[in-house]
Amino acid sequence: MDSSDSIAIIACGGRLALECIEEARSSGRLGGVIALEGESIPEVVALADHVLKWGQIGRLISALERTGAKKVLLIGSISRRPDFRTLVGDFETIRWLPRLLTTMAGGDDSVLRKVIGFFESGGYQVVSLADVAPGLLAAPGLHVGRKPSATEREDIETGFAALNAMAAFDVGQSLVIGQGRIAAVEAAEGTDAMLERVAQLRDARRVPWKPGTGVLIKAAKRQQDLRVDMPVIGPQTVEGCARAGLSGIAISAGSVVIASRSDCIKRARDAGLFIVSCDQAALGPDAPSGAIVPETP
């Protein structure tokens, strides 16, 4: 294997990291796996060459050097930021501490840009999931389940336009909308917790929709760096939508990953939910009516 094409995977939480490891291995590009203790799932930890605590940057750099790879994929979810107070005695990390504290300051987008810069300054190329496992991305025209109604199509267009408008404020990547009303916007809690909030609003009759109404909209933010922050839906997302009594999911094509795709699609069909992927180029307030949702059956 050409070492210039070798990829070291830094695996965080969720099964998506496992899927990327399998894809990189099958293509012969896997240079090594570094798992994060307390974040990576057990299956990933079992495959890892190194298991590090969140924040052990000095040891991370040494582990990357040992892989021989010059490309890095950062994949998976992070449930918390590092607590550097737990790293007393890790002198290599302490040496980096002033820069690390600067990197961790700011909103999510700001932090992620600094993380990329951190690795690039060390001579590494940060790659995206699309470079490693392009088959996991939602392609344009994906259509699972029934066709969205005219009202749902209007909600989908409005929802994407709203996300597009909020992107400048580093707000989350998803929202729930129904009958022209936005019921919830994702913030720091993440998509799953937002969906649970919608379910609670329904139970409290704060959302006046009948069951089977409302759509989850998920899209990459404008100018979002997809190398380290690609939106994801998976089986848990589908289950959350079902519990919230929604009718479907609309995602932006080419920039949203469908994790555990076959399971995700099966659960959507079993729950009576539709999934549609939408052309990112059509998003925005000037999109013509009907341009957002594909017409394929």
Q: What is the pLDDT, as a whole number, of residue 26?
A: 93
Q: What is the pLDDT, as a whole number, of residue 157?
A: 94
Q: What is the pLDDT, as a whole number, of residue 33?
A: 96
How many angstroms separate the CA atoms of 297 and 292, rounded? 15
Q: Looking at the predicted structure, is the pLDDT value of residue 286 above 50?
A: no
**Residues 6 or more apart in contact with residue 134 via CB below 8 angstroms:** none
The pLDDT-based confidence of 80 (bands split at 50, 70, 90) is: low
Pairing state between β 248-252 and 274-278: parallel
Stretch 277-295: mean pLDDT: 53
Q: Looking at the predicted structure, is the pLDDT value of residue 48 above 50?
A: yes
Could you tell me if 7 and 31 are in contact, meaning their C-beta atoms sit under 8 angstroms apart?
yes
Q: Looking at the predicted structure, is the pLDDT value of residue 289 above 50?
A: no
pLDDT tens digits for range 54-68? 777 778 888 999 999
Q: What is the pLDDT, as a whole number, of residue 102?
A: 54
**pLDDT above 70 as % of the chain:** 80
Q: Looking at the predicted structure, is the pLDDT value of residue 285 above 50?
A: no
DSSP H stretches of helix in the chain: 16-26, 42-47, 57-67, 91-103, 108-121, 129-132, 150-166, 191-203, 235-243, 261-271
Q: Fold for 137-282, please state it.
A: Cytidine Deaminase; domain 2 (3.40.140)
Q: Which residue shows structure tokens 């961790």?
A: 104
Q: What is the pLDDT, as a whole number, of residue 288?
A: 39
Pairing state between β 257-258 and 125-127: unpaired
Which class is 3-133 in CATH?
alpha beta
> What is the pLDDT of the chain when averaged over all its residues?
82
The pLDDT-based confidence of 113 (bands split at 50, 70, 90) is: low
Q: Please, where in the chain does CATH 3.40.140.80 lie? A: 137-282
Q: Looking at the predicted structure, is the pLDDT value of residue 21 above 70?
A: yes
Q: What is the pLDDT, as a whole number, of residue 274?
A: 97
How many angstroms separate the CA atoms of 219 and 280, rounded? 8
Q: Please, where in the chain does CATH 3.40.50.20 lie? A: 3-133
Q: Looking at the predicted structure, is the pLDDT value of residue 152 above 70?
A: yes
